[in-house]
Structures are given as structure tokens and as C-alpha cells.
Amino acid sequence: MSKPGLHHVVFCVRRENQDAAAALWSDLGFTFTEIDLADVGLRVLLDWDGGIEVIAPTAAGGSEAADVERFLAEHGEGVYSVVVKVPDIDAATAVAERHGSRVEYSQDRSTPGFSLRESRHAAVFGMPATFLATDLP
């Protein structure tokens, strides 16, 4: 991959609304995989191919749950981030920082046959962006 491209949109909802929010998309034909990220305190419903992710904080909390709870308190439910697949996370981060953003969260996950690096950045001009580098399509 040499050129960045839009990968998916992340919607943030309250715990009690997550299944109903996902049902709206499911009824349109999206198919979600449930991912419990206990280490960061999030329940993720993701249609990787369809480009929709619905996240909610878990009751157990975690390193990212507090940020999500704060987002919900300040902004309510809605678009949390737009994920852009990039060939180089470090280069994309440098560009975002040059434009006044800062990294709010980053992760590096891998298993056999799968690797993912991601960095979520503070919104610039109201545009919340997450950069993603992965060996998955």
C-alpha cells in the first residue's frame, strides 16, 4: 500500500444502546464481529469489510474506557473517529502533529497472520482521525 485511504467510521454509543445501534446497520446488511477488548475496556462491533464500527465502554472499565466515557459526556453519541489506512503510521502521525494534533491513543496488536498498528489523534478542525497500518485488506 502506497497511498492512504478511508477504511471505516467509528461510532461511539452508550453501553445500553450498542446493540440497538448495531441493529440499524445490521438491518441494512452489515455483518458485525464482536470484539471484547477487555484490556482497554471496550466492546467493539466491527464490520471490517463494510466500514462500520460501533464501540461502547464496558462496565469493567479500562485504559480507553475513560476516554470514551468522557467523549460521551462531552459530545453525546456519534462519530468518534474516521479511520484512515496508511502505509506508515509514524509518517502520518508526523503530518497530524504538524497540523496541531496529538496522539490520544495508540495500539500495536498482532497474532499469527495478523498485525495492526493504530493511532487515534485529537480532532483538528473538528476532524477526529485514526491512522491504521495493517497487513489485512
Q: How many CB atoms lie within 10 A of CB 66?
A: 13
From CA 110, how far away is CA 61, in angstroms rounded? 23
The whole-number pLDDT of residue 114 equals: 86
- Share of residues in the chain with pLDDT > 90 (%): 87
Q: 23-70, pLDDT tens digit by residue? A: 999 999 999 999 999 989 999 999 999 999 999 999 888 888 999 999
Which pLDDT tens digit goes with each residue over 95-135?
Answer: 999 999 999 999 998 888 889 999 999 999 999 999 999 98
Set out the domains of the chain in order of their start, with CATH numbers: 5-134 (3.10.180.10)
Cα separation, 66 vs 55, whole angstroms = 13
Residue 42 to residues 29, 73, 105: CA-CA distances in angstroms?
A: 24, 16, 13
Question: Which are the contacts of 134, defined by CB distance < 8 A and separation ≥ 6?
Answer: 85, 114, 115, 116, 117
Give per-residue pLDDT as tens, 1-15: 579 999 999 999 999
User: Is the whole model's pTM more than 0.95, yes or no?
Assistant: no
